[in-house]
Every structure is written in structure tokens, then in C-alpha cells.
Amino acid sequence: MNLNKNLQEYFDELSSSSPTPGGGNVAALCGALASSLGAMVCNLTIGKKKYADVEQEMISLKNKLEIYQKEFFELAQKDNEAFDKVMEAFKLPKESDEEKEVRNSKIEEATINAAEVPSDVMHKCYELLPLLKTIADKGNKNSLSDAGVAIALTRTSVQGAYLNVLINCSSLNNQTIAEEIRKRANIIFEEIDKGTAQMLEIITKSFLPA
Amino acid sequence: MNLNKNLQEYFDELSSSSPTPGGGNVAALCGALASSLGAMVCNLTIGKKKYADVEQEMISLKNKLEIYQKEFFELAQKDNEAFDKVMEAFKLPKESDEEKEVRNSKIEEATINAAEVPSDVMHKCYELLPLLKTIADKGNKNSLSDAGVAIALTRTSVQGAYLNVLINCSSLNNQTIAEEIRKRANIIFEEIDKGTAQMLEIITKSFLPA
């Protein structure tokens, strides 16, 4: 994803009817935002006397989150490319039977790829979440709400990616492949949805009077 | 919020230990992303023969969402400013009893303000959600996953803002005011959390084989 683009340009392109960026791109972006906020909490923990015993752990987590952030950006870019490929396949000629067959096969192939990119976003979130949990548990308590927002963003990243997996699978001809992709996605979705909800409930309660 | 900033700069500042932007800013940004994605679905519906009967409604929704997007950006900016004011108040001198009193009162005032900005984000999301529901119901079906991602982002915007309301309320001395702010926030949180969960379930089911 082109990170030299300014925020105004990104939002203008998002709102527009241009094919990309769309919801799949935003889902991956949420993963990058979650990683970035998590890294912020690490940075607000590192160097503080009170948290000296978790300093090394926070440095290591921060380094991992910086890598994850980049990987989410790559996935956001891949999502744009995958969608463009589907659009290209739809534009192929469909006069002769042979052309129709080539076109259908290219659409199918591009759609499988367009389902696999958000599957990868879901997997990355699955790796990200335990890191954010540790940060919420052990990081600077003054930034616990930030860790919570990062966890909520992970939930949305997974939810958004899941919807993109499903819409692509729903238009596949090969329903055996579709079912396989869906099944794997469903397992991650259920686990992250439940896990994030629990974590958010604990964080919420910690802010309420006893 | 400075929209001339490029994405890389925004993410670098977010990850850093600089006080802003933080989780409250990102929560408001999620509202802007939701508005923008909603406007995209309107743009992909307007001008399509199949959706001619909802054309006027989509134009009107799009115009509203463009205003909402700007309002969320303003709230994101206000969140930065509110947090900066809390930080400034903490830096006030605290030698004499009089100084301590002034400082405490300034911290209290700034913290109430820092709880009110995310409350406003929650209210804006409360206005946004029915618009997104209409877009999901009546907009271009090919973009239903995008409408779903917008709804998921609204949920996260509310969740993130709610955590920011709570963390600020938890540090107020005046627990009567804190309880009032919390009560109102809690009502919106419960309603949006339930409402978005239901909408997302319906969208998810629509993509699954019958």
C-alpha cells in the first residue's frame, strides 16, 4: 500500500466508486492500526521504572508489532491487487464458447485468490491477538484503554476480512473449495470474536467502580 | 485532524510514545472510515439501472455521510486537543496549597472534557448506524461486504470511544459527574453493540449457502 498517500487522498479514494480500496483493504488497515496502537503502549511502558521487570518483553513485543504492521500494509495492498484481478477477468471477451470458458476459469481463479487474501488477514490477526493480550495485561496501565482499542480493531479486522472471504466464496463455482476456505475462516472468526469480547469485557470492568 | 499528513507519518506518530494520537483518536477515525465506506457503497449504487428506485435515497445518504466523515475528523482532532489539555494540567506547579488546588481543579476540568469528546463520538456513531443499515439493506448487493465492514467499524468506534469515556471517568474526583457520563455512554454502548452484532449476523448469513 502506498503510504506516501496523504489521509485526505486515502479517504477520497475510499469513498469514491473506484474499485479499490474497499472493505477488504480497510479490514487489513485495521490490523495495521491495531499493531501500531499496541506498539504505542509498548513505547509508553519501556523506560518506566514501575515496569522495569517487563521491559525486555515489551521491547520484543514492540519489534514484532512493527513487523506485523508492515505485513498488514502488504495484505492491504494485496487485497487491492486481488480485487483488480477479479475486475480484469470479468472484462475478458465472451463471444465464443472457448472465450467463455477461459473467462469463467480466470474469474474463478481470481475469486479464489480474492478469498485467500482476507483469509491471510484473519491468520495474521490470530497471531496478533495474544501479543495484544500480553500488552493489555502487563503494559502501562495508563494506556489500558489504548490496548483495548487495539483489541477492538483486531476484532473488526477479522470481522471485515471474514465478510470478504464469504462474499468471494459465495460467487465461486467450485463449492468444495469454497466450503474448505469458509470452514477455516469460520474457526478463526469464532475464536477471535469470542476472545476479543472476553478481553474487552475484562478491560471495561477494570474501569468501573468496585 | 491534519489530513495532509501522509499515512506513514500518521502510523509513525501513532506507534510512538508521543501523547497524541492515541486510542481515542483512532476510535474517531474508525467512525470516519465507516462513513467513507458507506459513501462508497452509495457511489456504487447511484447510476445503476437496477437500483434506480433507491437512487435519490442513496444520493441523500451519501451527502450525509460526507458530512459525518468530516465531523469524525473534527472529533479525532478534538480528542488530541483534549488529551493535550490533560497533560498540560498535570504539568502545573504544585508547591503551595493554592497551586495544588488550582492544579487539581484544572486536571478535573480537562478530564471531564476528555471524557466528553469520546461521548460525542459515541453519539455520532448512534446517528450513523441507521444510515449504514439502510445502505446494507437497499444498496448495491455486490458491495454488501463493504457495508458490513462499515458496520463493524462503527462497532469498534463506539467500543473504543466507550473505553476512553470509562478510563477518564475512573480518574475523576467528582464521581457523581463520572456516573452520569458513564450511564449515558453505557446506554449507547449496549444498543450499538447489540444492533451491530445483529446486523453483522444477518449479512454473514446472506453469504452462506442456503
A160 and B170: CB-CB below 8 Å? no
Residue B191 lies in a domain: yes
Residue B116 lies in a domain: yes
For residue B63, what are the contacts with CB-CB under 8 A and spacing of at least 6?
A: none
For residue B120, what are the contacts with CB-CB under 8 A and spacing of at least 6?
A: B75, B78
CATH code assigned at A187: 1.20.120.680
Does A210 lie at the interface with B, CB-CB under 8 angstroms? no
Contacts with A, B 40-59, CB within 8 Å: 40, 43-44, 46
Closest in B32, B163, B175 to A204, CB measured? B163
Residue B183 lies in a domain: yes
The pTM assigned to this predicted structure is 0.97
Burial grade of A209 (CB within 10 A; 0-12, 13-18, 19 or more): exposed
Domain count, chain A: 1
| Residue whose entry in the numeric block shows the C-alpha cell 487485497 | A79
Q: DSSP letters of B54-106?
A: GHHHHHHHHHHHHHHHHHHHHHHHHHHHHHHHHHHHHTS--SSHHHHHHHHHH
Residue whose C-alpha is closest to residue A149's, from B151, B148, B22, B149: B22
Is pLDDT above 90 for B1? Answer: no
Cα–Cα distance measured from residue A160 to residue A145, given in angstroms and rounded to the nearest whole number: 22
Residue A1 lies in a domain: no
Which residues form the domain of B37?
Answer: 7-206
Residue whose C-alpha is closest to residue A44's, from A144, A137, A154, A130: A144
Does B104 lie at the interface with A, CB-CB under 8 angstroms? no
Helix (H, G, I), strand (E, B) or coil at A195: helix
| Chain B positions in Cβ-Cβ contact with residue A207 (cut-off 8 Å) | 163, 166-167, 169-170
Give the model confidence (pLDDT) of B85-113 as tens digits.
999 999 999 999 999 999 999 999 999 99
Instruction: Indicate the angle between helix axes A144-170 and A175-206, nearest 10 degrees.
Output: 160
**ipTM of predicted complex:** 0.97
Q: Looking at residue A115, what is its pLDDT?
A: 97
Q: Looking at residue A188, what is its pLDDT?
A: 98
Closest in A15, A66, A152 to B36, CB measured? A15
Residue B1 lies in a domain: no
Q: What are phi and psi of A48, to 5 degrees?
A: -90, 125
Q: DSSP letters of B21-63?
A: S-HHHHHHHHHHHHHHHHHHHHHTTTT-GGGGGGHHHHHHHHH
Q: Looking at residue A19, what is its pLDDT?
A: 80
Q: Tell me: cis bond preceding B118? Omega within 30 of 0 counts.
A: no
A10 and B11: CB-CB below 8 Å? no
Closest alpha carbon within chain B to A152: B156
Helix (H, G, I), strand (E, B) or coil at A140: coil
Residue A2 lies in a domain: no
Residue A82 lies in a domain: yes
Does B20 lie at the interface with A, CB-CB under 8 angstroms? no
Is pLDDT above 90 for A25? Answer: yes
Does A140 lie at the interface with B, CB-CB under 8 angstroms? no
Residue whose C-alpha is closest to residue A160's, from A21, A32, A12, A28: A28
Give the model confidence (pLDDT) of A153-208 as tens digits.
999 999 999 999 999 999 999 999 999 999 999 999 999 999 999 999 999 999 99
Is pLDDT above 90 for A1? Answer: no
Residues in chain B: 210
C-alpha cell at B10: 500518521
Residue B65 lies in a domain: yes
